[in-house]
Chains A and B, each alone.
Chain A
Amino acid sequence: MVLLKNLHPPTEGVRHEQAETTAVLDGQRLGCGTLYVAETRLSWFDSSGLGFSLEYPSIGLHAISRDVSAYPQEHLYVMVNGKLNKENEAEMAEKAADDDDDGSSDGGDDDEDEGAITEIRFVPSDKAALESMFSAMCECQALHPDPEDDDSDNDFEGEEYDVEEAEAEHGHADIPTFYTCDEGLSALTQEGQATLERLEGMLAESVAQQYHMAGVRTEETKAEFEDGMEVDTAAMEAGQFEDADVEHW
C-alpha cells in the first residue's frame, strides 16, 4: 500500500478543495477521497484519513485530460519528479508530523533520478471542477519557485506577480499570474519595466534590422518578405529605404 497515516488535511491557505475525487497513483487506484490544493502543498485523503502530500517543487507538470479514448474519465493529470515509494513516504509522514508549517520537506528527493516520474490522476466526480483545480494548482506552483532562482531574482520586488493589479487592469480572470500577448507592459514591476525599456533601447540600436522585441520576427514580417529580408515596416520611420535603389539582402 502506498498510503500514509497520521496526516491531516491543511486548514489554512486552501485554494481549492474537491471532494469525491478518486486518486490513481502510477495506475494504482487508491480510492475515493478529497483533494486539497493548498498554498503549502497538494494533498489527498480518503474518508479514513489515509492519504499523501506532494510538495509543489516536485510537481513538474499538471494538466487537464479530456480525451476519454486515452483514459476513460476526464481528470487532473499530475506528473511528479522522482518516485514515491514506501520508504520516502515514511520520511514524509514523520516530517509532516513534526513540521506542519514547513513547506520545504525533501522527502522523496533522495531516490530521484532524472528520468523517474510518478503519474497521479485525480478523477473528480464533478468534471466541471477540473478548470478550478487546474487553476488553483497553477497559482500555488507560482508560490514555490526554485530556491536557486532567488540569487538571480534581485531585480524583482517580492515573489508574487501582482495578480489583483493585473486582473483589475486587464480583466484576465483565468490566468492572472501569466503574461499573455493581450496584457499590457504596466503589469511589470517598476524595475522590470525599466529593464524592458533598456532592452528595447538596445534592440532599437541594432543598425541592420529592426524588430519588435528580443529579436523575434513577427508573422507580418514573414508574410511580406518571403525573400528572407527581415524588415519591420511598423518600426521604420518615413520609409527610410524608399529613396535607395540599392537592393537589400
Chain B
Amino acid sequence: MPFGNTHNKFKMSYAAEQEFPDLSQHNNHMAKILTPDMYAQLRDKETPSGFTLDDAIQTGVDNPGHPFIMTVGCVAGDEETYDVFKDLMDPVIEDRHGGYKPSDKHKTDLNAENLQGGDDLDPNYVLSSRVRTGRSIRGFCLPPHCSRGERRAIEQLSIEALDSLEGDLKGKYYALKNMTEEEQQQLIDDHFLFDKPVSPLLLASGMARDWPDARGIWHNDNKTFLVWVNEEDHLRVISMQKGGNMREVFTRFCTGLTKIEDLFKNRGHEFMWNEHLGYVLTCPSNLGTGLRAGVHVKLPNVSKHEKFGEILKRLRLQKRGTGGVDTAAVGGVFDISNADRLGFSEVELVQMVVDGVSLLVNMEKRLEAGEAIGDLMPEQK
C-alpha cells in the first residue's frame, strides 16, 4: 500500500474543498483535467484492493511538471483503477493519446510477418535497434500499490515462466538483492542493469518502496532478450541488438512475448488486457501496446536542419538522447522511436519507425552530399 494515505473513509470527515489539492502551479495532464467537482465525485471511491483517487494523483500533485514536457500526473494501482476512476482516466488518456475516445478499440498485432522490410536499415548510420514493452499480470496490484507479498509472488511467477524458455531465448535471472559484484558490473557493462528510480515522478507514486526486494533482471544467454521484473511495471520486455535489423529484433520480441504469455497461461495467469485499452500498465502513457521501438542513429546533419522537429512530428516519431529519456544526444547520435502507444498496433508502430528511420537516413545522406531534401519531406501520418 502506498505510504501516507490514511484510510479513505477518514478523509470524508473533511469537505472536498478542504482536501482538493492546490494545482495552480501545475502543468500535467491530471492537473488540467481534475476539477473540484470531479474530485468531490471520485474521492470516496476505491478499487477492490483499496486504491484511491488520492493514491492515483499523488505523483502529479508532488510534481508540478515542466513548462515544455507535459507529464501524465497520475498512475494506476491496479487494473480496476482505469475503470473506477474513468472520469479522470478517460480524459487523461484522450489528451495523452491524440484524441483516443472511451469508445475506441485498440488493435493488438504481434505477428512479425506483417511487418514489411525492416531488415536493411543502413548499419553505417543505425547503430542499434531495440523494442520494448511492458506487461502486467492480471489479479495483482501494480507497483505503486502492491504489497511486498504480492511483489514477491510476481517475481516468483516470472522466474518460473522465464526459466522455461528454450533455444535462443534460454537465459538466467539475476535478483537485484542477491547479485554479486561481478554480475552487477557485467550487467552495467551490457547496459542492462536498472537502478533504483531517482526520478521524483516515480518515487512520489510509491514504486520504489522496499527496494530492492523482489526486483531483478532476466536475460537470455545471447544478451538479445531481456526482462525487467518489478521496476516501473510488473514486467518490461526488451529485445535489442547492434545494427539496423529491426525486423529480427521485432521478430524475436513477438516470439518471446508470445511464449512468455503462454507460459503464464499454463500456470493459470494472464496478462492485463482489454479491447479498449489494450495492455494495461502502471502509467496511462504506456497503455495500448506499451511499445517503444527505437534506434540509435547518426543524424548529425538532419538534426541541425530547421525542419527536424517538424519531420519527426509528421513521421509520428520522437527523439531522445542516447542515455534514454531526459538525456542529451551525444555526437549527433539520437534515439529515434515511435511517439504513439495506443490506437495503433505493434506492427503499425514498428512499421512507422522502420519507414521513418529509413527516410531520415536518406535525408542524412543527401545533406552529407550537400543536396537538398525538400522533395523528401513526408506527409503527416
State yes or no: do A and B come from one complex: no
Binding site for B on A (CB under 8 A): none
